[in-house]
Structure 1
Amino acid sequence: MGTMQLSRRGSVPPFQVMSILRRVGELRAEGRDVISLCAGEPSGGAAPAVNAAAAAVHAGGESLNYTPAAGLPELRAAIAGHYARWYSTAVDPREVVVTTGASGAFMLAFLAAFEAGDAVAIARPGYPAYRNILTALGLRVVEIPCGPETRYQPTPELLDAAKKEHGRLAGLILASPANPTGTMATRPELEALSAWCAANDARLISDEIYHGITYPEPGAADPLGVSAREFGTDAVVISSFSKFWGMPGWRVGWLLAPSELAEGIEALAGNVALCPPAAAQRAAVHAFDEEAYAFGAAQLEEFARTRAALLERLPELGWGEAAPADGAFYLYAQLGPALGAFPDASAWCSALLEEEGVALTPGSDFDGVHGGGAVRLSFAAGPEAVRRAVERILVFQERHAR
């Protein structure tokens, strides 16, 4: 048998979180008690109104046929109404494209906005799927090193330096709140980045999936987060029902498409996925009911309590520098002395999972340069899970102390 060609597009590294989740499942199947703090999965689930709507859809006996490629008209209208509610910003429902999770929105946006070979900037540390999807599509990834001095967010000055080194940047992917650091761009910072992109003909892709999960100081001007849509219609704004609405496995997200990209994005959507999941779309309409907003706000209060308790115990863990976690539900920190004799955080996390049944994500997934000694802990699982995990981590660290 001859050797068939393999595409280099498939040679991207796996998203480590998914590999860790697979091992978590194996250990649980063996009867192990595993606390999974490796993924951004809110423990509270969807609002009762959403669950009830989903149950009604499936109990109704009607066929779940394809929806329009850009999503159900009533869901697109509800999403547009959400921007008026949260951001006092007008959005035409025709600008909304419902997608198969935010991941589907990234794929459609990247395909429609960029040509193969274009350079697209992302922050480092950052969500690894940005880098891996861009690479698989034949785009050049330009990593912007973002440390504590810029609160882990890119700046116009850093983009100027990247452009000088790498040439024209076709786009910038910005996440606020960011994964894994939880840091946020302020209104002036996001406005400055939007202006830089406009002046440099770079398409801004604004990942706003964690909006609503923020921990602002009392009286903050933008307690829910600032949307790039507030500064014009050139940016592709991406969000999802996975985080604030607690619906990660429902696989429904959306994007706001600039007018010149809308036709191409909808055509791609119809070819790539035909439509997002029909039942999940119908239920997601009820994510914008008053009850569902209230449910999300209650979940946020629990995230805030869990975050506060975790930060209180951080000195006890003895880890090194940690990002401030202004939003989302992650703590990203250098292990520092707690790394002990392990060569890197990947080995440390693997041993922690096998020995103590606690799953964290090594920082190398988010930063291939400085992430080797860092970990990301998701506190979305709630206060009791985090409390138990911290106790196990302390036992593990004591066992492996130098």
Structure 2
Amino acid sequence: MTLSPSTRSAVPPFAVMSILSRVAELRAAGRDVISLCAGEPAAGAPSDVRRRLAELMSGPAPLGYSETLGIRPLREAISGHYDRWYGLAVDPGSVVVTTGSSGAFTLAFLAAFDAGDRVALTRPGYPAYRNILTALGCEVSELDCGPAERFQPSVAILERAHAEAPLAGLVLASPANPTGTMVSSDELAAITAWCRETGVRLVSDEIYHGITGSGPELAGGHGSCAWTTDRTALVVSSFSKYWGMTGWRLGWCLVPDDLSSGFDALAGNFALCAPVPAQHAALGAFTERSYAEAATAVETFADARQLVLAALPELGWGAVAPADGAFYVYAELGGALGEYPDSVAWCAALLETEGVAVTPGTDFDAVRGGGTVRLSLAAGPDAVAAALVRIRRFQARNAP
């Protein structure tokens, strides 16, 4: 009998991680590489988080398994964070600490959807949503949301998709990856109301909250939390972006009452608990100093974005998504694509010849992504400025 891999594992790799592997190979060979491909803030974890970890490692405290849902002090601190940013009372019992937001999405999809359920996503969008849902046997309905829609869904778009075949769920990201665009408070309220009335489960990705613009429609610059208007939604967030704690693998999910027991059971079977040292150290993320350090990092992302926007006329790139938040620039290459057949080849050549890693748009949009790229600004303005010098040189050498 011939053995074969599962069909569920036949999902595309996450291109960012493949590019990071190549970056590591080039650096190991002595190459100087500037990486603008991953959403990984250069500043890293706040100083109070690092201090707490050092104390934990040098102290007698046992670091065995925690409660499946996370240590109580951290769940209470996350609850307090919602009060601080949104004036929102969240029961710590509704907070589940997870192994990164990736763990939260896997658990959320398992708890909310069955195999065969149809779940809507925007295109372009974060590829792991699609790939996790596909591996779990769900049917993915991609909503074509381009510049005319500001890369975000609307009730009208959802109604059309639901009329084609009933939807069981919607994954909404605001700010979104790769575009950085957001839905306003009013738009979010309309979408959550439509989901509730139609029986569509909303999964709200809010991991880039805090890395946003300002204005009354953005709730003081943090974004609009879906939990405000819909306690049946699943709200996913993370320590990775605002606090720069990517490698700590720590996220959380606000879980509605009807999914709490299933979420608990799944979490206990899948991971037992989130990384315990990271949980204890993460209590340091909620100090005044940590909030201030994170806010300073956010300012550097805005500075880096201005560098890219100012360079666009010389680069000759096309349209750019009007990012409201996050730390990306998602742009059409236009005529700068030159002799290369698509952005995959363009990005590969840029990395190999100039040592600059950016992500081709095909990772986010299988239809139009061949003409787009995503630059991560998380490395900061100095790295972005140096990368732009190399990109200009690359394009000049390959100009017709």
The TM-score normalised by the length of structure 1 is 0.98
Aligned partners of 1:211 and 1:179: how far apart in 2? 12
Per the alignment, residue 105 of structure 1 pairs with 104
Per the alignment, residue 225 of structure 1 pairs with 223
- How far has the Cα of 1:130 moved from its partner? 0.1
Aligned partners of 1:220 and 1:79: how far apart in 2? 20
Per the alignment, residue 85 of structure 1 pairs with 84
Greater Cα offset, 296-305 or 308-317: 308-317
CA contact (8 A) 2:68 2:274 kept: yes
Residues 220, 102 of structure 1: alpha-carbon distance in 2 compared, 3 angstrom cutoff = closer
Per the alignment, residue 199 of structure 1 pairs with 197
Aligned partners of 1:218 and 1:322: how far apart in 2? 24
Per the alignment, residue 115 of structure 1 pairs with 114
Per the alignment, residue 169 of structure 2 pairs with 171
Per the alignment, residue 235 of structure 1 pairs with 233
CA contact (8 A) 2:184 2:218 kept: no
- How far has the Cα of 1:222 moved from its partner? 3.4
Per the alignment, residue 377 of structure 1 pairs with 375
Amino acid at match of 2:36: L
- How far has the Cα of 1:219 moved from its partner? 9.3
Per the alignment, residue 30 of structure 1 pairs with 29
Per the alignment, residue 75 of structure 1 pairs with 74
Aligned partners of 1:19 and 1:372: how far apart in 2? 17
Q: Deviations over 1:290-333 (max 9, x none)?
A: 11111111111111111122211122211111101110000001
Matching residue within 284, 295, 298 for 1:297: 295
- How far has the Cα of 1:3 moved from its partner? 1.3
- How far has the Cα of 1:128 moved from its partner? 0.1
- How far has the Cα of 1:216 moved from its partner? 2.7
1:243 aligns to what SS in structure 2? Answer: coil
Per the alignment, residue 251 of structure 2 pairs with 253
Matching residue within 304, 315, 318 for 2:316: 318
CA contact (8 A) 1:41 1:248 kept: yes
Aligned partners of 2:218 and 2:332: how far apart in 1? 29
Amino acid at match of 1:29: A
Greater Cα offset, 290-299 or 130-139: 290-299
Amino acid at match of 1:338: A
CA contact (8 A) 2:267 2:273 kept: yes
CA contact (8 A) 1:215 1:304 kept: no
Per the alignment, residue 185 of structure 1 pairs with 183
Aligned partners of 1:375 and 1:397: how far apart in 2? 14
- How far has the Cα of 1:221 moved from its partner? 4.7
Per the alignment, residue 308 of structure 1 pairs with 306
Instruction: State the Cα RMSD in Å.
Output: 1.1
Q: Map 1:207-222 to 2 at 5 A.
A: 207-216=205-214, 221-222=219-220
Amino acid at match of 1:294: A
2:27 aligns to what SS in structure 1? Answer: helix
Amino acid at match of 2:174: S
1:44 aligns to what SS in structure 2? Answer: coil
Aligned partners of 1:244 and 1:31: how far apart in 2? 31
Residues 201, 207 of structure 1: alpha-carbon distance in 2 compared, 3 angstrom cutoff = same
CA contact (8 A) 1:32 1:357 kept: yes
- How far has the Cα of 1:218 moved from its partner? 8.9
Q: Deviations over 1:334-370 (max 9, x none)?
A: 1000000100000000000000000000000000001
Amino acid at match of 1:223: G
Amino acid at match of 2:132: I
Aligned partners of 2:264 and 2:57: how far apart in 1? 27
CA contact (8 A) 2:210 2:242 kept: yes
Per the alignment, residue 278 of structure 2 pairs with 280
Greater Cα offset, 308-317 or 215-224: 215-224
2:224 aligns to what SS in structure 1? Answer: coil
CA contact (8 A) 1:214 1:326 kept: yes
Per the alignment, residue 126 of structure 2 pairs with 127
The TM-score normalised by the length of structure 2 is 0.98
Greater Cα offset, 240-249 or 303-312: 303-312
Per the alignment, residue 338 of structure 1 pairs with 336
Residues 218, 76 of structure 1: alpha-carbon distance in 2 compared, 3 angstrom cutoff = closer
Aligned partners of 1:140 and 1:222: how far apart in 2? 36
CA contact (8 A) 1:331 1:376 kept: yes
Per the alignment, residue 150 of structure 1 pairs with 149
Aligned partners of 1:139 and 1:86: how far apart in 2? 34
Residues 98, 243 of structure 1: alpha-carbon distance in 2 compared, 3 angstrom cutoff = same
Aligned partners of 1:95 and 1:220: how far apart in 2? 24
Percent identical pairs in the alignment equals 60
CA contact (8 A) 1:39 1:378 kept: yes
Greater Cα offset, 278-287 or 221-230: 221-230
1:206 aligns to what SS in structure 2? Answer: strand
Amino acid at match of 1:310: V
1:126 aligns to what SS in structure 2? Answer: coil
Where do 5+ consecutive residues of structure 2 fail to align? Answer: none
Where do 5+ consecutive residues of structure 1 fail to align? Answer: none
Residues 220, 205 of structure 1: alpha-carbon distance in 2 compared, 3 angstrom cutoff = closer
- How far has the Cα of 1:63 moved from its partner? 2.8
CA contact (8 A) 1:156 1:193 kept: yes
Amino acid at match of 1:214: T
